[in-house]
A and B are shown apart, each in its own frame.
Chain A
Amino acid sequence: MNIAAAVNENFANYSNYLIRSAMFVYALAFLGHLAEWVFGGRSKVAVQSAALIGESGEEGAAAAPAAAVKVTTRGGTATLTRPKVVTRASASDRGIADGPGAAGGSEKGDLYGRIAVSFTVLAWLLHFGGVALRAASVQRAPWGNMYEFSTTFGMVAVGAYLLLLALKKDVRWIGLFLTTTVLLDLGLALSVLYTSSDQLVPALHSYWLWIHVSCAIISGAVFYLAAVGSLLYLFRDHFEVALTAGRAQDGRWGDIMRRLPSAATLDKFAYRMNALVFPLWTFTIIAGAIWAQAAWGHYWEWDPKETWSFITWVAYAGYLHARATAGWKGRKAAYLALAAFACFLFNYYGVNIFVTGKHSYAGV
């Protein structure tokens, strides 16, 4: 153990500069997304294209509950064209297509959106550098206290979002929410949770710190993206119900809603994200139990942190069940997902701050 290892003050300072710069650039990205939303929908082009899409939609709707045209042609020689595949809507699909995104189909809005994404990439690189330098300054995993946990958490959430964008997933609609929350997260971390870089208490000296905590951070970040999806799903679902009931949905709110992906898409996005990390969250808890066994001699003691991890886990299991149970799909399942994420947040902030247990090394 290199306990005596002097903390490299320089690295720590640079890390702080980088995090502050990242915040600045995130703020630019935030403004970019704001501009995308504000200028996107209003433009003439957007209205026109919406009308166009609406037209073809009517025809599709006459056919079956749904018709979104997605033509895939790929393939080699002329004779080997890939045959097209007809897909049929399922029960939960209203046949309402995804909105065009925040830009609302307008070129100007789209430009702002692209600028915002570029800023996000730059901010993320700064953010990443900040976290890495922090790790270098203390020569350990950069998540020994709540400040470090928060900065890494935000970094992973944005990283996951950028990864989805890189995989050509249509997720730019999260951008505004994500930049807002990352700014809040980093602001909170720097102002309230800040702890100067330092060594760890002996209880945290274990390679399980790397495994257990990094998995917790990744799980949390992806759960967060899913929660944004669920929240927007609830709004958009509300909007679609009103639409199909024939109630006019004009005005600002309707304009925003209209540009979001369809409720079915949002719901599916939330489900996929949650289902993707649920096994990782399960592993996080098990890794924590193994560590507890090594450190304290019991793998499970109902310590508040363990208890809330368990509650979170059961809540997400409930969500997955709800999705498979008739009568609980859709809105009810989305409420469950949000409740489960609230449990995750409480486990992180609430338990660290209000409840004392063996995990109380938060540095607050």
Chain B
Amino acid sequence: MTLAAIRIKAPRVAAAYEIALKVGVCEAARRLGLHQSTVSCHVGKARRMLAGTFHQRPTEAQPARESERQHLAGLRHDSHTTRCRCGLSLPCYQCVQTIWQAASSRSGAAHGEF
């Protein structure tokens, strides 16, 4: 590795879900230069995280405690959903923020990484 150099990296796409929530999956895909299916995949991960069935690290992929599962499920009521321009129903930003914070404190993962 050269010491004096600039390293050009691919951008993180971890925020794809958040962006999709704000501008829709189609528009998010366009803005991120990704295929729609890739953005949808991130949305799917976020939804699984919301359901308590997705974990950041395989080593910590233990089932959530029942009380926590109920807590997470309790956040999934209709008032916390919004609809993408392409008709895909997405959980709301606030809910996912809450889940991310809970998941991050459990696994030590950085906020927004999934």
A binds B: no
